[in-house]
Chains A and B, each alone.
Chain A
Amino acid sequence: MSSVHVSPLSTYLTIFGALMVLSAITVGAAFINLGSFNPVVALAIAGIKATLVVLYFMHVKYSSRLTKLTVVLSLFFVAILFAETLMDYATRGWMNYTPMQQ
């Protein structure tokens, strides 16, 4: 009757080990000058760590497609939040407008 997926102990320990290694890499990478790629690397590593937590610790890998869709939706909404806001703020300097008369 039970449809719950029980992951083996080794899965949790492996993921924990991977998260520790990635944390060490994040700190190490911050001390190397990669120019504008420093934040890219930092966020990429954080993204991989978050994905591991979501898939294995939060069992999304073994969850229903509806749950998976909900997880992806949260990223989609955050993408909208970031894209729309940055579209505004990053392009304000493009306009050569004159301030309105008081």
Chain B
Amino acid sequence: MHGHDHAHEHHPSLQHHFSTMSQQREAGVLGMWVFLLTEVLFFGGLFITYTLYRMWYYEAFAAASKSIEITPGLINTVVLIGSSLTMALSVRASQTNQRKATVNWLIATIILGSVFLGIKVYEYADKFEHHHVPGASFQFAHEPAPGEAHVAPAEGGHVATMGPDQLQRTTQLFFSLYFVMTGLHALHMIVGIVILFIIAWMAHKGRFDSEYHAPVEMTGLYWHFVDIVWIFLFPLLYLVERHN
């Protein structure tokens, strides 16, 4: 295993500064997790901002969250967790030398990721239509769209303690956080899809086997992390207060 006889059993993908493939893999996994740790703190800053404003302007957060349709968010939750499954199955296929399956599951992940982004585009367009995008034309609660007219009475109950100007400003905070958080998440997905294309091409070219599939595995770790961010975003943005 080591010493004078190791030269002839080197895996072609073993870098010279590692003694074994498993040591190389270990180092890669650890490095990836250190990167994900920085990502956790990156998103953590947004989550603490959300927490503070939600504590201060709860009524506005409840009313603004209620104006968001649950269905597309729930569909996206299913789609994204589904894409995590296909990603995990691709890693498993690469671990067991199934080249074709590795590529196919990667393509399935790309498709599901694209479906998620497509639904996100629909949701963003809907926000523009309802003037729920922070900025000069932002308008909340006083011009309910025909479809959400039934929401108005409940909103009225909420905003009793907030004047219209205050509600206008504080709901804008919620939507600012909505766009920054889901936007940053979507940006991570776009980056992830680009990486998935590259990895799928490499897998198709036969660059991976049961000994060396670190790129597939690292892409998987990144993709699952993005899934986890959404697991928290969904209840925090869509489900602030749905009873009453």
Contact = CB atoms under 8 A, between A and B. Distances in A.
Contacts of A6: 92, 95-96
B228 interface: yes
Interface of A: 1-4, 6-7, 9, 12-13, 16, 19-20, 23, 26-27, 30-33, 38, 42-43, 45-46, 49-50, 53-54, 56-58, 63-64, 66-67, 70-71, 73-75, 77-78, 81-82, 85-86, 89-90
Contact of B224 (A33, A57, A66): A57
B84 interface: yes
Contact of A2 (B44, B210, B232): B210
Contacts of A26: 234-235, 239
B207 to A, nearest CB: 17
B224 A53 contact: yes
Number of chain B interface residues as a range: 35 or more
Interface stretch (B30-38, B107-115, B186-194): B30-38
B231 interface: yes
**Top 7 closest pairs, chain A to chain B, by CB:** A30-B239, A42-B235, A74-B37, A33-B243, A30-B242, A74-B40, A70-B33
B119 to A, nearest CB: 15
Contacts of B74: 23, 27
A27 B52 CA distance: 23
A6 to B, nearest CB: 5
A15 to B, nearest CB: 8
Interface of B: 20-22, 25-26, 29-30, 33-34, 36-37, 40-41, 44-45, 47-48, 51-52, 55, 70, 74, 77-78, 81-82, 84-85, 87-89, 92, 95-96, 210-211, 220-221, 224-225, 227-228, 231-232, 234-236, 239, 241-244
A79 to B, nearest CB: 10
Given A16-B85, A64-B30, 14 more contacts: A20-B78, A23-B74, A23-B78, A27-B239, A30-B239, A30-B241, A42-B235, A42-B239, A58-B220, A58-B221, A66-B30, A74-B37, A78-B40, A78-B47
A82 B242 contact: no
A4 to B, nearest CB: 6
A85 to B, nearest CB: 5
A58 B224 contact: yes
Nearest to B236: A42
A45 B234 CA distance: 12
Contacts of B221: 58
Contacts of B47: 78
Contacts of A3: 22
B228 A54 contact: yes
A50 B231 contact: yes
Contact of B243 (A38, A46, A71): A38
A16 B243 contact: no
Contacts of A30: 235, 239, 241-243
B81 to A, nearest CB: 5
A86 B49 CA distance: 10
Contact of B41 (A53, A64, A81, A85): A81
Contacts of A64: 26, 29-30
